[in-house]
Amino acid sequence: MLKYETEKYKIEEIDGKFIGYEKEHHVLKNNNEVLIQDLGNDFYKSVLDGFNKIKADHIINPGDYVAIKINLGGGIHHIPSTYSDPKICEAIILAVKELGGIPFVCEANMRAHKMDDKMLKIRGYYDMLHRNKTKFVNLSYVGIIEMKCIGLDVKLLLPKILFHDNVKIISFAPPKPHWECGISCSQKNMYGAIAERRKSIYHRKFDRIDKTVAAAARLMSPDINILGCQNLCVGTGPHFGEPVPFNKLIISEDMVYGDKLCSEIFGYPYKFVKYAMINTNNVDVSYKLHPESSEMSQEILDLIKEKSIYMKEVNFWKRFLHFQYFVPHDFQYHFYPPFEFLFTEINKRFFKNR
């Protein structure tokens, strides 16, 4: 039975299961404008100002449910530059409510992390969400669509909640270098929305991870993309990195153009970001800076680029890390989390993350 169909996909219900098929479609949106917004002392005012500049009220309508997809599972405990800042997320929640939207925050389980109350408390989200009467949705525990994606040899288990007509998606993530993909920004953030916890399977072929990231991002393409943090993680990210003062939000309608600007900030050529090139048909796209954008400090830009990861490092780490993805999944679930403190201590001692 056909459930729903768009220009991007067709979804059917077969024997009680939802089966999806991706269609050939154009990924890029018409709006290539990217805003750089200062993150001032009043985060809510900063987010609302950014929303007004991009005319977010034309995107989020009163009564819309708004999924705020954070990057929680990809970070390290007590190292705020490695995961979505709960203080900025709170400002986004309030701004969405100001527009008449009904926000909920969401993330899916990762290999070593289950998105439960314990995780939310460690990362500073539990009290904030309760204070704002905002739900957290674990995307691994909602209805699932088995999606067959173009160019990918495995099906993706995608959360049905993000495919409803009255649900808008805001991707909110800290931009980070990534030792296997080059950069981790809006497109990579949507990889974290895949319901499958056994995410090692997407790494077991060298080109599969980039194809998976690209497919997840284009099928769950965010309506608004916010990349921002107080301190930017630079170095061999996403798990190890030195914090550099940033205090900016990069806001765009299109994930590809926002990621492009971030690649320039990191000094990592966009043409080497393989998942981005898949979604642009190997065209190195150009964005347009919003006329009300704030300026970036050249001193900070130079510092970021000096410490950022390079293509040869990505090639090395991708090969070096490859074996770990064949470790049995149950072992990863039970034995990785207790050693999380080692990553925290390494970051504090060697990367000045205090």
pLDDT, position 1: 63
Per-residue pLDDT tens digits for 156-168: 999 999 999 899 9
Q: What is the distance between the alpha carbons of residues 179 and 160, in angstroms, rounded to a whole number?
A: 30
pLDDT band of 53, cuts 50, 70, 90:
very high
pLDDT, mean of residues 48-57: 98
For the chain, list the domains and their CATH numbers.
Answer: 2-294+307-350 (3.40.50.11440)
Residue 311, pLDDT score: 86
User: What's this model's pTM, rounded to 2 decimal places?
Assistant: 0.96
Q: Model confidence at 12, in pLDDT bands (50, 70, 90)?
A: very high
Distances 38 to 213, 266, 353 between C-alpha atoms, Å:
29, 18, 23
Both structure tokens of 28: 């890029």
Q: What are the backbone dihedrals phi and psi of residue 156, each rounded to the nearest 5 degrees, phi first?
A: -100, 135
The pLDDT mean for the chain works out to 94
Asked if residue 240 has pLDDT above 90, the reply is no
Alpha-carbon separation of residue 84 from 101, 172, 208 (angstroms): 21, 7, 26
> Assign residue 212 a region: left if phi > 0, alpha if psi is -120 to 50, beta otherwise?
alpha
Over residues 216-220, the mean pLDDT reads: 98
Confidence of residue 146 (pLDDT cuts 50, 70, 90): very high
User: What distance, in Å, lies between the first and last C-alpha atoms of the chain?
Assistant: 55
Has residue 55 got a pLDDT over 80?
yes
- In the predicted structure, residue 354 carries a pLDDT above the cut 70: no
> Which tokens hold the place of 141?
């525990």
| Amino acid at site 203 | H
Report the share of the chain in percent with pLDDT over 70: 99
